[in-house]
A and B are shown apart, each in its own frame.
Chain A
């Protein structure tokens, strides 16, 4: 009774969120991912091509022309082409980061559930440690000490959020090994690795997938923020956050360099969290 009341009370807005908004969110995500994936063929210009004749051209409807629909920066680089390539890099980093974090966390969570004892304690101490520290500071510290290269940035993005999967996977592993089908399979002589891989993982996939959908926008934000601060993706490569960082010096005479990627980041993270919330309501059995 109290569970029902709590659930209905806590999430009614999301449950009642009209499907039109969810559809719009999915449409935007599909669009952004398609654009990012096809950035090469879609971009009309080389994102790094300098064209000083057409420098600081404003976007269409703000006095610009069709040749550069989103305008150009102070070197005359086409913002739309840069945006497409930037979105590609941002999405790629966030995708690899989310999947790797999920894999590490899930594996460690299952290990903790299977071994119990000291292994369990050690893993849970790490989980608590990461959960208690603001990750942005940890990320900045790692980038400071190890130098900001693409490899270090990827490591940082990959270890972001693993602790949530570890907690979930451990709880799921524990609840599923205690009696029920896992015990039955074990009685047939299946080895633990087989049980976890073929039986427990498919049964926890829904919950883990929801967490990945919710983690994905946060990973985009982590990379964008670091790049915006000049600590993430370094030139000549450009992610959405890095383009915004570049545009900060030109706010007065070329607002579009910063605002357009900002809109894309905001819309993408918002769409992904709307989708994630909806998926959680559908797939997470604890909320029913």
Chain B
């Protein structure tokens, strides 16, 4: 219980810090009245505009008001087209989820089996081939990989479209770009943690007790190897969101990553702040889930929890 509560409190605290960070950034980013209306208007007009936004109130009142707006789901209007920032962003979320989900699926399906295979065939040519592939996939920056894929498959071979999102063919190149890095990362982690577990004394012990190699793999190797892999999951979600900005921009994929980059270029702050808050919330939730899952999977932590709770 204590374990869960500590992690929960930490998550709430982090979320609070993230919202406060965005509020502070918004306040020091300049005068919204000048930002939106420009400096050519008479001062009275600007003052009236500031009053309308509540900018004449003391800072603490603005801060509380900001929280109230967040809870009401009022995130202001996009500076660019005057639509609700919320609907602009929410339109883009499923697109990003689709792209990142597909990309990550590619990574899991290729990376984890490749890593486990490399570990089981340790120090053979299979192992070496997997690790060289992983090193290359790990080192090529995603924006460069995206460009190379476009040059090869869209411009040279003319097999796939270079951008857009109308049908599934548009999904292939961006999903491969996203997937390559994580396939490489997962292969390395799966290999390292499998090898780590294979080197521990309980495996020879299990084998000595007469279990077959498949049973030892399923009952002993994989659950132990799962722990570090789950820890990495938190990093992966963060990395996917960073990657979304690049991949969606290059492939003109209409998700929140591209929306964020375009909103920053246009200084469309209501959209920027909503995306940043949303991503922060996703990160907080992910880290919380990873922590809780870790507690569930690791019997030692569970015992410590039981001990602390009683």
Interface residues of A (CB under 8 A from B): 1-2, 5-6, 8-13, 125, 128-129, 132-137, 140-148, 221, 224-225, 228-231, 241, 244, 248, 251-252, 255, 258-259, 262, 265-266, 269-270, 273
Whether, in the assembled complex, B242 has its beta carbon less than 8 Å from a beta carbon of chain A, the answer is yes
Point out the residues of chain A lying under 8 angstroms from B201, CB to CB.
1-2
- Contact assessment for A231 and B261 in the assembled complex, using a CB-CB cutoff below 8 Å: yes
- Measured CA separation A9–B261 after assembly (Å): 41
Cross-interface CB contact of A134 among B10, B30, B241, cutoff 8 Å: B241
Cβ B141 vs Cβ A133 within 8 A: no
Considering the chains assembled together, what is the distance between the CA atoms of A137 and B284 in angstroms?
Answer: 14
0/1 interface trace, chain B 135-160, chain A, CB 8 Å (1 if under): 00001111110011011000100000
Question: Given that A12-B123, A132-B287 are known contacts, is A143 also in contact with B147, CB under 8 Å in the complex?
Answer: no
A5 to chain B: which residues have CB within 8 Å?
196, 199-200
The reply on B14 being an interface residue by CB < 8 A is yes
Beyond A136-B242, A228-B246, is A9–B195 a contact (Cβ under 8 Å)? Answer: yes
Judging by beta carbons under 8 Å apart, are B29 and A146 in contact?
yes
Name 12 extra pairs, CB < 8 A, besides A133-B283, A244-B144, A251-B151.
A5-B199, A8-B199, A133-B280, A134-B239, A134-B242, A134-B279, A136-B242, A148-B264, A224-B141, A230-B265, A231-B264, A265-B141
- Is B25 a contact of A251 with CB atoms below 8 Å? no
**Does B131 sit at the interface, judged by CB under 8 A?**
yes
Q: Which residue of A lies closest to B271 (CB)?
A: A144
Say whether, besides A134-B238, A266-B139, A143 and B264 are in contact (CB < 8 Å): yes
> How far is B250's CA from A244's CA once the two chains are assembled, in angstroms?
12
Report A-chain residues with C-beta under 8 Å of the C-beta of B18: 133
Chain A contact residues: over half helix, strand or loop, or mixed?
helix
Q: Does B5 contact A (CB under 8 A)?
A: no
Contact A225 B143 (CB under 8 A): yes
Residues of A within 8 A of B265 (CB): 230-231
Is B196 a contact of A140 with CB atoms below 8 Å?
A: no
Q: Are B25 and A273 in contact (CB under 8 A)?
A: no
* B26 in contact (CB, < 8 A): yes
| Interface residue? B198 (CB, 8 A) | yes
**B14–A244 touching, CB < 8 Å:** no
Inter-subunit contact A221/B141 (CB<8 Å): yes
A133-B238, A134-B238, A251-B150 as given contacts; A6 in contact with B139, CB under 8 Å: no
> In the bound complex, what is the Cα–Cα distance between A144 and B276 (angstroms)?
11
Assuming the A-B contacts A133-B280, A262-B144, A262-B147, are A141 and B25 also in contact, with contact meaning beta carbons closer than 8 angstroms in the complex?
A: yes
**B148 with A129: CB separation less than 8 A:** no
Taking A141-B25, A244-B143 as contacts, is the C-beta distance between A259 and B151 under 8 angstroms?
yes
Q: How far is the CA of A244 from the CA of B238 in the complex (A)?
A: 25
Which residues of chain A come closer than 8 Å to B122, judged between CB atoms?
12
Please report the C-alpha to C-alpha distance between residue A231 and residue B242 in the assembled complex, in whole angstroms: 14
Q: Count residues of chain B with CB under 8 A from any CB of chain A.
A: 56
B37 within 8 Å of A (CB atoms): no
Give the docked Cα–Cα distance between A143 and B246 (Å): 16
* B175 at the binding interface (Cβ < 8 Å): no
B272/A144 in contact, CB under 8 A = yes
Contact A134 B29 (CB under 8 A): no
Which of A10, A134, A248 sits near B147, CB closer than 8 Å?
Answer: A248
Of all chain B residues, the one with the shortest Cβ separation from A230 is B265
Tell whether, in the assembled complex, residue B148 and residue A259 are in contact, meaning their CB atoms are under 8 Å apart: yes
The answer to whether B192 and A145 touch across the interface, beta carbons within 8 angstroms, is no
Residue B186 is within 8 A (CB to CB) of chain A in the complex:
no
Bound-complex Cα distance A262 to B199 (A): 40
**A136 is contacted by which of B155, B245, B267 (Cβ under 8 Å)?**
B245
Nearest 4 A-B pairs (CB), nearest first?
A5-B199, A136-B242, A9-B195, A134-B238
Q: Is B64 an interface residue (CB 8 A)?
A: no
Most B CB within 10 A of own CB, among A133, A225, A270:
A133
Contacts of B239 in A (CB 8 A): 134
Minimum distance in angstroms from B109 CB to a CB of chain A: 23
- Does chain A have a CB within 8 A of B89? no
Bound CA–CA A251/B153 (angstroms): 13
Give the docked Cα–Cα distance between A269 and B192 (Å): 22
Chain B residues 265 to 294 lying within 8 A of chain A, measured CB to CB, are: 265, 267, 269, 272, 276, 279-280, 283-284, 287
Chain A hits for B261, CB < 8 A: 140, 229-231
Q: Are B249 and A273 in contact, with the CB atoms below 8 A? A: no
Q: Say yes or no: is B17 at the interface (Cβ < 8 Å to chain A).
A: yes
Contacts of A266 in B (CB 8 A): 139-141, 144
Let me know if B308 is at the binding interface, CB within 8 A: no
Would you call B147 and A259 a contact (CB within 8 A)? yes
A137→B237 CA distance, assembly (Å): 12
User: CA of A194 to CA of B192 in the docked complex: distance in angstroms?
Assistant: 41
Interface residue B306 (Cβ < 8 Å from any Cβ of A)? no
- Residues from chain B with Cβ under 8 Å of A224 in the complex: 141, 143
Which residues of A have CB within 8 Å of B276?
137, 141
**In whole angstroms, how far apart are the Cα atoms of A9 and B195 in the complex?**
5
Residue B41 CB within 8 A of the other chain: no
Query: Within 8 Å CB of B267, what residues of A?
Result: 144, 147
- B-side contacts of A255, CB under 8 Å: 151
Q: What CA separation (Å) do A244 and B200 show in the bound complex?
A: 47
> What's the minimum C-beta distance from B18 to chain A, rounded to whole angstroms?
7
